[in-house]
Amino acid sequence: MHNGGSSSSLGPGGLDLTQAFFRPIISAAPPSPTKRHTKISVIGAGNVGMAIAQTILTQDLADELVLVDAKADKLLGEMLDLQHAAAFLPRTKIMADVDYAVTAGSDLCIVTAGARQMPGEARLNLLHRNVALYRAIVPPLVKYSPETILLIVSNPVDILTYVAWKLSGFPSNRVIGSGTNLDSSRFRFLIADHLDVSAQDVQAYIVGEHGDSSVALWSSISVGGVPILSFLHKQEIFYEKETLENIHKEVIDGAYQVIRLKGYTSWAIGYSVANLARTLLRDQRRIHPVSVIAKGFYGIEGGDVFLSLPARLGRSGVLGVANVHMNDEETRRLQSSAETILELTGQLEI
Amino acid sequence: MHKSGSSSSFGPGGLDLTQAFFRPILSAAPPSPTKRHTKISVIGTGNVGMAIAQTILTQDLADELALVDAKSDKLRGEMLDLRHAAAFLPRTKIIADVDYAITAGSDLCIVTAGARQMPGETRLNLLQRNVSLYRAIIPPLVKYSPETILLIVSNPVDILTYVAWKLSGFPSNRVIGSGTNLDSSRFRFLIADHLDVNAQDVQAYIIGEHGDSSVALWSSISVGGVPILSFLDKQEIAYEKETLENIHKEVIDGAYEVIRLKGYTSWAIGYSVANLARTLLRDQRRIHPVSVIAKGFYGIEGGDVFLSLPAQLGRSGVLGIANVHLNNEETQRLKASAATISELTSQLEI
C-alpha cells in the first residue's frame, strides 16, 4: 500500500534528484515536523466517507488526511484520485491503508463505515452487525490516537456513538455523533428558501434521534433574531399544528427522497461533517445539534443515552449543551426519543 | 421538476410568511437582479459531472449552478443532495432539469456527458455515438446561451472539442477541452512528490492528445525556476531517455490505474475543471494546457485539429498560446499526435 511522501526514485527507471536539487543553508537545524500539524482520519471510503474526505481537502482543513477501508483496491484508487489533484490544492499529505497504524496521531477520527440493512432485516440485527464492526474499528483507532476526538457518522448514529463511547473508554466530550446537524441544515434550507433569506440567518434546531422520532424545536426557531412562533401570534397569522408537523416530515423525508432518487446521499453529509470538523479543529466554539451524552438534560435520566442536543463544540470536543428552552411538548417528545434509543441499546451486549 | 427560489407556500400545509416577515424600506427601487451573476451549467450528472459541480460549489465559483442529465430521478436526487447543504455554503441557486432551457444565460457550460465504450467496440464507433449525443446537447446549449464558453470534458476530449466547435458555430476562443490539464497535474505531482516540493512550484506541461500519444515537454520543465534537463546536464547526473519515458508512462497509466482500482476517476478531474472554471470566470490570465484549435502552431497544418497546448485563459476564453519552446523530438511527437487525431476526425460526418 502506497503512502504519500517523497518516493525514493523518480519513475520506474530510478532517477534520484533529491540530494542535488536543493542546497541547504549553513547552520540550519535539521528539518523537524511543524508543531501545528492537523491530521484527520476517515474510516470508510464509500460515498459518504469520500464526500467528507474531499470536502475536507477542498476546504483546506487538514495538513494530513488518512483513509482506511477494508477494500484495498477501492481504497488505493480513491487515495490516488485525490493525490492526482495536487497541482490544484494546498499541499496536503494523503495516505491510505487497510492497517489502522496509518491513523496514528490523528486529531480527529471520522467513522463512516457501517453495514447496510439487508432487505427484511430486523433493525436489531443490523445493529448487532454494526457493533461487531465497531469492535474491529474503535479499539485500533484509540490505540493509535489516544487523544483523538471520535466523530461518528454511520447509522443509526445515536446508538453507534454510544457504542463507540463504550468501546473507546474516552471521556464523553471526545465522542460525538453527526446526529441531526444535517437534518437541521435541511430544515433551515426549507425555511430560508421560503423566506428568500440566507440559510445562515435561520436559527433552527432539530434535536433528539437522528431518525423518525427527531424533534423540531419550533419554539426556538428565529430568523434574523425574530422568533417565528411568537411572530406568527403577534401578526395574527393563523397556522395549524399539522402544518408544522408536515414541514418537519418533509425534513425527515428529505434523506429518503435523495436515496430513492440517486441511490444514496453523499454531498450534504460531506459538507455537514466538514463543517463539524472545522468547528472542532479550529476551536470555533459554535453550537451544533450533534449526538452527545444526554443524561441529565431535559429530564432524561433512564441510562447512558446519546442523542442530538445543541452542543457547543471546540478543540476539546463538547464544551457543553446550550440551555435552549423547550416547551412541554418538545420535552416530552425528546424524552420519548430517548426511550426509543435506550430500549434498543439495552439489548446490545457492550 | 422543482426550481429553487421562494416556494409559494411553506410546507405541504401551505403557510405563507413572505409578505409579513420582512418589511420594505421607503423609497426603495424594486429588487433587480444583481449585475454580477455568474452562472455555470454542468451537463451530465455522473461521477465526473457531480465531482465538478460539487467542487465548484465548495470553492464558491458561481452564483447559480444548473445541472442537466437525461436521467431525471438521478438528476433530481443530486440537485437535492447539494441543496440540503445550504446551511454550510454561501447562498447559491442550484437548479436542475432534463430540459436545456434551464441553462439559459450560462457564462460557462461544462459538458461531461458521453457514451461509454462497449466491450469490443471500435474507437470510431464509440466516437460516432458520441457525435450523435453531442448533436442533441450542443445546439440547445448554444441556443440558450449564445455567448457562453463551452468547456468539453467527455472523452475522447480532443475530438469532442472539435465536434462541439463545429456544431456550435462559435469562434474558437470559446470552445475549450479539459485536455491535458489533469495529466499535467499528475505529472507535476510525481515530480513534486519526489523532490518534496509543493506541486505548484513545478512547472511541467504534458500537451498534445489527452491519451496515449500525449507529449511530455521535458525540455521546458522547471522547478523553482530551475530547468530540469539542463540542470541534470550541468550537475552531470546521468539519466536514460527510457527513464523519462517511464515517468511519462506512469502519468498516462495514472488514470487507468484509478479506473482499475475504484471503477472510474472523479475527484482529480473535478478539481482540474473547477480550476479551469476559476481561471476563465475570474479572468485570471493563467496558462493551462487545454485542448484548443492547434492549426498554425508547431508546424501543425493538416486540418482543424484540437489538441492541448499551453494556453492563456481568461474571461473571453482562449487569449493565446504561450510560446513554449519545443525541441525537435517534441515537435515531431506533437505533429504525430495531431495526425492521429486528424485521421479520426476526418472519418466523422460533421
A278 and B CB contact within 8 Å = no
From A11-25, B73-87, B246-260, B298-312, the region with the lowest mean pLDDT = A11-25
**Do residues B215 and B330 lie in contact, with contact meaning Cβ atoms separated by under 8 Å?**
yes
Task: Kindly state whether A96 is in contact with chain B, defined as any CB-CB distance less than 8 angstroms.
Answer: no
Sequence-distant (6+) residues with CB within 8 A of A147 are none
CB pair distance less than 8 Å for B189 and A78: no
Do the chains contact at B267 and A186, CB–CB below 8 Å?
Answer: no
Q: What is the pTM of this model?
A: 0.91
Residue B280 confidence (pLDDT) above 70: yes
In the sheet with B317-321, reading across from the earlier edge strand, the strands are B93-96, B64-68, B39-43, B108-111, B149-152, B175-177, B286-293, B306-314, B317-321
Helices in chain B by DSSP H: which ranges? 18-21, 47-58, 72-83, 123-144, 157-168, 181-195, 228-234, 241-262, 267-281, 328-346
Contact check, Cβ <8 Å, B13/A239: yes
Measure in Å the smallest separation between the Cα of B3 and chain A Cα atoms: 11
**How many Å apart are CA A112 and CA B246, to the nearest integer?**
38
* Terminal-to-terminal C-alpha distance of chain A: 33
User: How many residues can be counted in chain A?
Assistant: 350
- Contact between A309 and A294 (Cβ < 8 Å): yes
Rounded CA-CA distance A138/A239 in Å is 47
Strand partners, A206: A216
Confidence of residue B9 (pLDDT cuts 50, 70, 90): low
How far is the C-alpha of A259 from the C-alpha of A117, rounded, in Å? Answer: 13
B54-78 exposure pattern, b = at least 16 Cβ within 10 A, e = fewer: bbbbbbebbbbbbbbbeeeebbbbb
Helix/strand/coil (H/E/C) assignment for every residue in chain A: CCCCCCCCCECCCCECCHHHHCCCCCCCCCCCCCCCCCEEEEECCCHHHHHHHHHHHHCCCCCEEEEECCCHHHHHHHHHHHHCCHHHCCCCEEEECCCHHHHCCCCEEEECCCCCCCCCCCHHHHHHHHHHHHHHHHHHHHHHCCCCEEEECCCCHHHHHHHHHHHHCCCHHHEEECCCHHHHHHHHHHHHHHHCCCHHHEECCEEECCCCCCEECHHHCEECCEEHHHHHHHCCCCCCHHHHHHHHHHHHHHHHHHHHHHCCCCHHHHHHHHHHHHHHHCCCCEEEEEEEECCCCCCCCCCCCEEEEEEEEECCEEEEECCCCCCHHHHHHHHHHHHHHHHHHHCCCC
Task: Give the β-pairing of B222-223 and B215-216.
Answer: unpaired
Q: What's the ipTM?
A: 0.90
Q: Who among A4, A13, A270 is closest to B246 (CB)? A: A13
Provide the 10 A C-beta neighbour count for residue B88: 24
Looking at the partner chain, which of B73, B86, B199 has a beta carbon nearest the beta carbon of A188? B86
User: Is A210 known to be catalytic?
Assistant: yes
Q: How far apart are CA A62 and CA A76, in angstroms?
A: 20
B136/A contact by beta carbon, under 8 A? no
CA A260 – CA B77 distance, rounded (Å) = 8
Instruction: Note whether B17 contacts A82, CB cutoff 8 Å.
Output: no
- B182-200 pLDDT, tens digit each: 999 999 988 888 888 888 8
User: Which range is least confidently modeled, A5-9, A253-257, B108-112, B247-251?
Assistant: A5-9
Question: Out of A22-36, A203-217, B116-130, B285-299, which region has the weakest mean confidence (pLDDT)?
Answer: A22-36
CB atoms within 10 A of CB A349: 5
Angstrom distance (rounded) from CA A94 to CA A4: 6
Rounded to a whole number, what is the distance in Å from the CA of B258 to chain A's nearest CA?
5
Whole-Å CA distances, B175 to B142, B160, B162, B164, B300: 11, 10, 8, 7, 19
Distance CA B228, CA B54 (A): 36
Return per-residue pLDDT of chain A as tens, 350 residues. Answer: 434 444 556 766 667 777 667 777 788 878 776 667 899 999 999 999 999 999 999 999 999 999 999 999 999 999 999 999 988 988 899 999 999 999 999 999 999 999 876 777 777 788 889 999 999 999 999 999 999 999 999 999 999 999 999 999 999 999 999 999 999 999 998 888 888 888 888 999 999 999 888 999 998 999 988 888 888 888 877 777 788 888 899 998 888 899 999 999 999 999 999 999 999 999 999 999 999 999 999 999 888 999 999 999 999 999 999 989 899 999 999 999 999 899 888 888 77
Sign of the four-CA dihedral A302, A307, A310, A315: positive
CB A282 within 8 A of CB A262: no
Chain A residues whose beta carbon lies within 8 Å of the beta carbon of residue B275: 88
C-alpha cell at B134: 453531442
B272 and A85 within 8 Å at the Cβ level: the answer is yes
Q: Which residues contact A121 (CB under 8 A, 6 or more apart)?
A: none
Distance CA B336, CA A227 (A): 69
